[in-house]
């Protein structure tokens, strides 16, 4: 039964640390699709037919990619399984160009958030959220899921974030003080709610809430859209990563240690995700080009 094989594969992936939620649902759907046609093995023609049911080409590529990896796993023990060709192209979309903010733009955003709407906790909430994102590089989802007991003297404990990994994010003294000022008012407003950031409904913030507040602040300060990028709350994380790379010391060993530390700090699953930020601003690309030119001309580190 193909469904049994899919269940075993999903269990292996989850045991390896992957969340494997939507992927498992997709593969279960494929198994049912195949078994409805009395097929107990992965067949390339059925995989392509099933993947083609998705609306867009990118969705078809991702669906087929799930089956390709399943087939490779199953074929190791049963050569009757077929590995479909990637007829819908690459699964991964081109990563969007990051929108990098200047220190002055960040200051204006935080200030605009502190003046938006009526004089309620909302002002303090979004001022603190934006300042925290800018000073720590947290994902928005990590910030809104913070709980009161995640705040420790050593920093913020980020529990089971995007890749089911927990990590400790140290806080600068100024960030710690700003967070404590917010909590002094927030505790009285919603004493029974364990999440750090709350809405006027006395409930945890939603991602949509943060996005709306960010757009409001961005419009208030006239933050422009760029030809290939627009400002979003995640821009604060992108900016943090780029500024951290710009502060990287010289020397091959120092750069390697810096990149590994930054990748761990940001909670990236692969250090390659951190290296992607090297192309985010012209200054970093210029540095890379200069170093490559010196290397080609005979200079060695």
Give me the phi and psi of 41, to 5 degrees please.
-125, 160
Annotated catalytic residue, options 9, 99, 126, 277: 277
Q: What is the pLDDT of residues 47-74, one digit of tens each?
A: 999 999 999 998 999 999 999 999 999 9
Sign of CA dihedral 125, 131, 132, 138: positive
Q: What is the pTM of this model?
A: 0.69
pLDDT value at residue 180: 95
Identify any residues that bridge with 198 across adjacent strands, giving them in sequence order.
204
- Range in 122-136, 141-155, 263-277 the model is least confident about: 263-277
Q: How far apart are alpha carbons 144 and 196 in whole angstroms?
A: 7
Element spanning 169, H or E: strand 167-169
pLDDT value at residue 18: 77
Give me the phi and psi of 252, to 5 degrees please.
-55, -50
The answer to whether residue 240 scores a pLDDT higher than 80 is: yes
Per DSSP, 129 falls in state H
Q: What percent of the chain has pLDDT over 70?
A: 84
The yes-or-no answer on residue 162 being catalytic is yes
CB 140 within 8 A of CB 233: yes
The yes-or-no answer on residue 81 being catalytic is no
pLDDT value at residue 257: 77
Annotated catalytic residue, options 25, 92, 162, 257: 162
The answer to whether residue 294 scores a pLDDT higher than 70 is: no
pLDDT value at residue 242: 85
Annotated catalytic residue, options 139, 145, 186, 238: 139
pLDDT value at residue 246: 78
- Range in 5-19, 38-52, 141-155, 200-214 the model is least confident about: 5-19
- Range in 14-18, 42-46, 115-119, 161-165 the model is least confident about: 161-165
**160 dihedral zone (left: phi>0; alpha: psi -120 to 50; beta):** left
Contacting residues for 174 by C-beta, under 8 A, at least 6 apart: 135
Q: How far apart are alpha carbons 198 and 122 in whole angstroms?
A: 8
Topology adopted by domain 106-228:
hpI Integrase; Chain A (1.10.443)
Token pair belonging to 188 = 């009285």
pLDDT value at residue 253: 64
Q: What is the mean pLDDT of the chain?
A: 87
Helices (H), the chain: 2-15, 22-35, 44-51, 57-75, 103-114, 121-136, 140-144, 173-189, 207-220, 234-246, 252-266, 271-275, 282-296
Q: At what angle do helices 121-136 and 103-114 cross, to 10 degrees?
A: 160
Q: How far apart are alpha carbons 70 and 182 in whole angstroms?
A: 48
Q: What percent of the chain has pLDDT over 90?
A: 62
Annotated catalytic residue, options 66, 122, 238, 268: 268
Annotated catalytic residue, options 14, 234, 243, 291: 234
The yes-or-no answer on residue 62 being catalytic is no
Q: 47 by DSSP, 3-state: which?
A: helix
The answer to whether residue 136 scores a pLDDT higher than 90 is: yes
pLDDT value at residue 98: 83
pLDDT value at residue 211: 96
The answer to whether residue 272 scores a pLDDT higher than 90 is: no
pLDDT value at residue 175: 94
Give me the phi and psi of 170, to 5 degrees please.
-65, 150
Could you tell me which of 213, 150, 140 has the C-alpha nearest to residue 179? 150
The yes-or-no answer on residue 234 being catalytic is yes
Q: How far apart are alpha carbons 260 and 263 in whole angstroms?
A: 5
The yes-or-no answer on residue 237 being catalytic is yes
Contacting residues for 178 by C-beta, under 8 A, at least 6 apart: 128, 131, 132
Could you tell me which of 105, 267, 179 has the C-alpha nearest to residue 113? 105
Could you tell me which of 9, 57, 6 has the C-alpha nearest to residue 32? 6
- Range in 53-57, 113-117, 230-234 the model is least confident about: 113-117
Q: Please report, for the chain, the start and end positions of each structural domain, with discontinuous segments joined by +.
A: 2-75, 106-228, 236-296
Task: Beginning with the edge strand found earlier in the chain, give each strand of the sheet holding 155-158 in spatial order.
Answer: 151-152, 155-158, 167-169
Q: What is the pLDDT of residues 14-31, one digit of tens each?
A: 888 778 889 999 999 999
pLDDT value at residue 291: 61
Q: 99 by DSSP, 3-state: which?
A: coil
Token pair belonging to 196 = 């750090």
The yes-or-no answer on residue 9 being catalytic is no
pLDDT value at residue 301: 55
Local confidence band at 96 (pLDDT 50, 70, 90 cut-offs): confident
Q: How far apart are alpha carbons 128 and 139 in whole angstroms?
A: 14
Local confidence band at 120 (pLDDT 50, 70, 90 cut-offs): confident
Annotated catalytic residue, options 43, 60, 186, 237: 237
């Amino acid at each position: 039964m193909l469904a049994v094989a899919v269940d075993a594969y999903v269990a292996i992936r989850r045991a390896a640390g992957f969340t494997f939620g939507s992927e498992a649902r997709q593969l279960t759907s494929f198994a049912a699709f195949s078994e409805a046609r009395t097929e107990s093995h992965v067949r390339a023609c059925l995989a392509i037919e099933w993947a083609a049911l998705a609306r867009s080409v990118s969705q078809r590529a991702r669906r087929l990619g799930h089956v390709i990896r399943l087939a490779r796993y199953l074929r190791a023990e049963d050569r009757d399984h077929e590995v479909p060709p990637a007829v819908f192209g690459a699964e991964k979309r081109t990563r969007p160009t990051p929108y990098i903010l200047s220190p002055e733009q960040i200051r204006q955003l935080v200030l605009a958030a502190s003046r938006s709407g009526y004089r309620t906790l909302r002002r303090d909430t979004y001022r603190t959220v934006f300042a925290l994102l800018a000073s720590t590089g947290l994902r928005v989802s990590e910030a809104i899921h913070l709980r009161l007991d995640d705040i420790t003297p050593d920093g913020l404990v980020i529990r089971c974030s995007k890749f089911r990994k927990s990590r400790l994010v140290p806080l600068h003294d100024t960030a710690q003080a700003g967070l404590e000022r917010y909590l002094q008012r927030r505790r009285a407003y919603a004493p029974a709610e364990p999440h750090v950031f709350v809405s006027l409904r006395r409930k945890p913030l939603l991602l949509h809430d943060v996005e709306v507040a960010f757009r409001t602040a961005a419009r208030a300060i006239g933050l422009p859209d760029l030809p290939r990028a627009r400002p979003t709350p995640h821009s604060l994380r992108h900016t943090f990563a780029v500024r951290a790379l710009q502060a990287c010391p010289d020397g091959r060993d120092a750069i390697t240690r810096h990149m590994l530390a930054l990748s761990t700090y940001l909670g990236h699953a692969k250090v390659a995700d951190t290296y992607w930020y090297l192309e985010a601003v012209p200054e970093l690309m210029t540095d890379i080009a200069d170093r490559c030119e010196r290397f080609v001309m005979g200079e060695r580190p």
